[in-house]
Amino acid sequence: MVESFRKLGISEEIIKAIKDEKFEKPSEIQEKTIPLVLQGRDVIAGSATGSGKTLAFGAGIIQICEKGAGIQALILTPTRELAEQIARELKKFSKYKPLKIASVYGGLSIGPQIEELKSADIVIGTPGRILDHIERRTVEFDKLKFLVLDEADRMLDMGFIDDVEKIINECPNKRQTLLFSATISSDIARLIQRHIKEPVEVAVEQYVDPSLLTQIYYDVEDSLKFSLLVHLLKNEQSKLVMVFCNTRKNVDFVTKNLYFAGIEALAIHGGFSQDKRSRIMQKFKAEKALVLVCTDVAARGLDIKGISHVYNYDIPKDSKEYVHRIGRTARAGKEGKAVSLLASRDYENFTRVLRDNEVDVKSEEVPKVERVRIRWMEDRKSYRGGYHQGHSRGGERHNPRGGREGGDERRDSRPRSRSWGGPSRSRNFGRR
């Protein structure tokens, strides 16, 4: 069963751990990357979440690192969740070759991290907290053999380029550098030119199967957007579901009003403590709740199996984020569905998504939905228990005319009055 892994040059200690995890054969990125890492080559690899990249770089690191010889590998990641996830995976694969693996990131007390770093062999961390330890002189990289930049595009998108540069400059020149990124921007290209020596580029096929992914959008009246989401969540046959919002306020708004609509949903965003975020993800992965409402930053890099539907409650401003979102589903031979809900404020972002990405998104007619009463708002003072009617900059906006709690659920039959129409009317969202 694991003979194909053995052919890559992996040691028996790691093979045994791979067998325990019931891996049958290497993924494409593992097959192409592991031999290069074991040969000592610098690597630039295109990658997607869920493609198996942790083992792709982790197998060589675990095999070459020695216990108690100082910090020999540093893995930089954009988010705390991804740092935790990588640490868990590396601990599984190194169970028969015990190494001290430390994960360091913000949101937790720095004292215990300082103690962990004293005996660590492999360190996984976010740029800000790693730089904090460098400035405090609580970490040393003079024994470093490996530097991994995971989700490099996301780290740079989040504004970490200066921190990453400073960290790289603290690492020995004689080292192996492995960079994993879904896209190669001009900033990443410059980073590669300055810091990576004669790299081997690894390209892999798209992990998401386009033939199994259905992409649709609904052009919905502003006042019915949340009601449509509730209707779809209650009527679509789904497994695990992710609902993406652009702001923390909208994550809270959607999650709490889903609860009032009879749908148990979990919220996750950067405003929560790390401990709370970890508990939420454990609960979602254990399928104790089937809907996760999240921001891009909180969800980036997390490998969650069994996502059947992705809903874009807000359309992302960055077209790359759309691709990352829909890449959560239709994986590993499973069918998936990506649904975008377009109200008037989403048109500009959606036009950009279609222009900048080769995506095939089909329009669907909005079904007849029962209007859902909004019961929770961020600004309690302005809330009067009315129907959902559009958005403000920070989140959803209530109906100023409102209505009594428990009042009639009347459907608003007034026609739209948009100056230029929506995508299913006069506005053309087709590719030019």
230-240 residue pLDDT tens: 999 999 999 99
In angstroms, rounded to a whole number, what is the distance separating the alpha carbons of residues 226 and 389? Answer: 9
* Residue range 143-170: mean pLDDT, rounded: 92
Residue type, 299: A
Q: What are phi and psi of 70, to 5 degrees?
A: 90, 180
pLDDT on residue 205: 61
Query: What confidence category does residue 128 fall into, taking pLDDT thresholds of 50, 70 and 90?
Result: very high
* Residue range 243-251: mean pLDDT, rounded: 95
* Residue range 47-55: mean pLDDT, rounded: 76
Q: In the block, which residue shows the tokens 């759309």?
A: 322
* Residue range 367-372: mean pLDDT, rounded: 94
332: left (phi over 0), alpha (psi -120 to 50) or beta: left
pLDDT of 60 above 70: yes
The sheet with strand 200-202 has its strands ordered as 101-104, 122-125, 73-76, 146-149, 176-181, 43-46, 200-202
Between vectors from CA 303 to CA 28 and to CA 274, what angle results, nearest 5°?
A: 145
First to last CA, the chain: 49
pLDDT of 389 above 60: no
Question: 26 or 327: which carries more pLDDT confidence?
Answer: 26
pLDDT of 385 above 60: no
* Residue range 225-247: mean pLDDT, rounded: 95
278-323: pLDDT as tens digits: 889 889 988 999 999 999 876 666 768 889 999 999 999 877 788 8
Contact by Cβ (8 Å): 104, 116: yes
pLDDT on residue 379: 53
- In CATH, the architecture of 3-202 is 3-Layer(aba) Sandwich (3.40)
pLDDT on residue 426: 37
In angstroms, rounded to a whole number, what is the distance separating the alpha carbons of residues 43 and 57? Answer: 9
Decide: helix, strand or coil at residue 429: coil
Per the DSSP assignment, residues forming a β-bridge with 46 are 181
Most confident residue range from 181-195, 217-231, 398-412: 217-231
In angstroms, rounded to a whole number, what is the distance separating the alpha carbons of residues 27 and 332? Answer: 10
DSSP 387: B
pLDDT of 169 above 80: yes
State both tokens at 211: 């033939």
State both tokens at 168: 């790289």
pLDDT on residue 147: 98
In angstroms, rounded to a whole number, what is the distance separating the alpha carbons of residues 92 and 74? Answer: 18
Burial pattern 408-421, b for ≥16 Cβ within 10 A else e, equals eeeeeeeeeeeeee
In angstroms, rounded to a whole number, what is the distance separating the alpha carbons of residues 337 and 320? Answer: 18
Per the DSSP assignment, residues forming a β-bridge with 373 are 387
pLDDT on residue 1: 63
Contact by Cβ (8 Å): 193, 316: no
Q: In the block, which residue shows the tokens 């992965």?
A: 285
Decide: helix, strand or coil at residue 178: strand
Contact by Cβ (8 Å): 139, 117: yes
Decide: helix, strand or coil at residue 6: helix
pLDDT of 387 above 80: no
Helix (H) or strand (E) holding 253: helix 248-260
The sheet with strand 240-244 has its strands ordered as 265-268, 291-294, 240-244, 307-312, 336-342, 213-219, 362-364
In angstroms, rounded to a whole number, what is the distance separating the alpha carbons of residues 87 and 344? Answer: 42
User: Which residues, 6 or more positions from 45, have their beta carbon under 8 angstroms from its beta carbon?
Assistant: 29, 32, 33, 53, 56, 178, 179, 180, 181, 201, 202, 204
Q: Which segments of the chain belong to CATH 3.40.50.300?
A: 3-202, 210-398
Secondary-structure class of domain 210-398 per CATH: alpha beta
Query: What confidence category does residue 271 fall into, taking pLDDT thresholds of 50, 70 and 90?
Result: confident
Whether the model pTM is above 0.85: no
In angstroms, rounded to a whole number, what is the distance separating the alpha carbons of residues 15 and 25? Answer: 11
In angstroms, rounded to a whole number, what is the distance separating the alpha carbons of residues 345 and 395? Answer: 12
Per the DSSP assignment, residues forming a β-bridge with 268 are 294
State both tokens at 46: 């295109």
Lowest-pLDDT range of 69-83, 99-113, 180-194: 180-194
